[in-house]
């Protein structure tokens, strides 16, 4: 069963913020939200993860709603190199708990 719902595709103008939504209405209290991206013909790249609080790193910001049923990945100033498929994953931390990569959101940054 899919744990997350993402739009299949989005466009964003170069230099603008890209806001990628993810719904995870059945998330449980001990499940983290992870974001990865995959540029064509490369392996997935870890971006960011969070449990309850908003998180920011050098790549992106993660905003998690108070009820934790949805989140948004924000790329503050999208570049052409950000064109990729973005995956939102929820899982309980720990080796035996898999990362299930769904079909993600295909983001195209337009010049």
DSSP letters of 27-48? Answer: --TTEEEEEEEE-TTS--EEEE
Mention every residue, 6+ apart, whose C-beta is less than 8 A from residue 49: 32, 33, 34, 35, 55, 62
Window 38 to 77, contacts with another protein (CB under 8 A): 41-46, 49, 51
Distances (CA, A) of 11 to 7, 17, 95: 11, 11, 35
By CB under 8 A, name the one of 8, 29, 96, 111 that touches another protein. 96
Give least dist CB 46 to another protein, A: 5
Query: In this structure, what are the phi and psi dihedrals at residue 77, rounded to the nearest 5 degrees?
Result: -140, 90
Nearer to another protein, 1 or 41 (CB): 41
The DSSP code for 61 is: E
Q: How many residues bind another protein (CB under 8 A)?
A: 20
Query: In this structure, what are the phi and psi dihedrals at residue 80, rounded to the nearest 5 degrees?
Result: -60, -30
Asked if residue 98 binds another protein (CB under 8 A), the reply is yes
Stretch that binds another protein, among 6-14, 18-26, 37-45, 73-81 (CB under 8 A): 37-45
By CB under 8 A, name the one of 21, 23, 32, 108 that touches another protein. 32
Judged by the rule CB under 8 A, the positions of this chain that interact with another protein are 32, 34, 41-46, 49, 51, 93-96, 98-103
């Amino acid at each position: 069963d899919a744990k997350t719902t993402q739009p299949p595709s989005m466009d964003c103008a170069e230099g603008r913020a890209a806001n990628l939504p993810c719904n995870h209405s059945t998330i449980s209290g001990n499940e983290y939200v992870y974001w990865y991206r995959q540029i064509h013909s490369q392996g997935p790249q870890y971006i960011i993860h969070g449990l309850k609080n908003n998180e920011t790193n050098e790549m992106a910001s993660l905003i998690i709603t108070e009820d934790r049923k949805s989140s948004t990945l924000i790329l503050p100033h999208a570049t052409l190199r950000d064109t990729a498929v973005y995956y939102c994953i929820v899982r309980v931390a720990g080796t035996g708990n898999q990362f299930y990569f769904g079909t993600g959101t295909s983001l195209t940054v337009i010049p």
